[in-house]
Amino acid sequence: MLDIKLYKLSDFSEKNFWHVDDKAYGMHGQVISPEPLSKAINYVFETVGKKIPVIYMSPSGDLLTQEKVENHYSDLWDEFMIICGHYEWIDQRIIDLYVDYEVSIGEYVLTSWELASQVLIDALSRHIPWVLGNPLSLEEDSFSKKFDRQKEHSVYTRPEIFEGKSVPKILLSGNHAEIEKWKQNNLK
């Protein structure tokens, strides 16, 4: 089962107007303050009754790959928490005290990392047994173990001929061994 709970960080702020960030030391810009974030994290731990893994979405984290998705999914327990920074950073002390995984979806900066967390959630959720109609679909995904972490081959559907372009004959043959060879030889 996939159950996502969202928490509004400003609910944990004691500052005027419920601010959750402050000026950064030694650089320009704002950084999410440690106090409200620590309160929010501990609130979640208390609510679920245990410490759960904490993932921080950040441009400086480990780059997310299909192989890491498979490993992160098997390493995560039933529940985990994702912290989404604003611009680039949260206070480093939160990372030092709470974060188990620091994950990036690319070498660029987003205004807010909620989008990155959605990418991670979607990639992880595909490994929940009921999410995909056919569990074998995972085996032939781009970057899967079966394809040696390469992009998968081209795919085709009906009609057999579209605007003068035909489906490769081997895919219509019914010869599964030859189709598998074609797939391996036509990885992108």
> Each residue of 103-144: pLDDT tens digit?
999 998 888 899 999 999 999 988 887 888 887 787 777 777
**Pair 148, 184: CB distance under 8 Å:** no
**What is the distance between the alpha carbons of residues 101 and 114, in angstroms, rounded to a whole number?**
16
Active-site positions read 59, 88, 126, 141
The pair of three-digit structure tokens given for residue 68, joined into one six-digit string:
């890491």
Domain boundaries defined on the chain: 9-125, 135-185
Residue 17 three-state SS = helix
Query: For residue 86, what is the DSSP state?
Result: B
Number of Cβ within 10 Å of residue 152's Cβ equals 16
pTM of the model: 0.84
Q: Express each pLDDT in 28-70 by its tens digit.
A: 888 999 999 999 999 999 999 999 999 999 988 999 998 888 8
CATH topology (fold) of 135-185: Trp Operon Repressor; Chain A (1.10.1270)
What is the homologous superfamily of the domain 9-125 according to CATH? SPOUT methyltransferase, trefoil knot domain (3.40.1280.10)
Q: Following DSSP, what letter does each residue of 90-118 receive, concatenated?
A: B-HHHHHHH-SEEEESSSS--SBTHHHHH
Angstrom CA distances, 131 to 1, 48, 124, 127, stand at: 9, 24, 10, 7
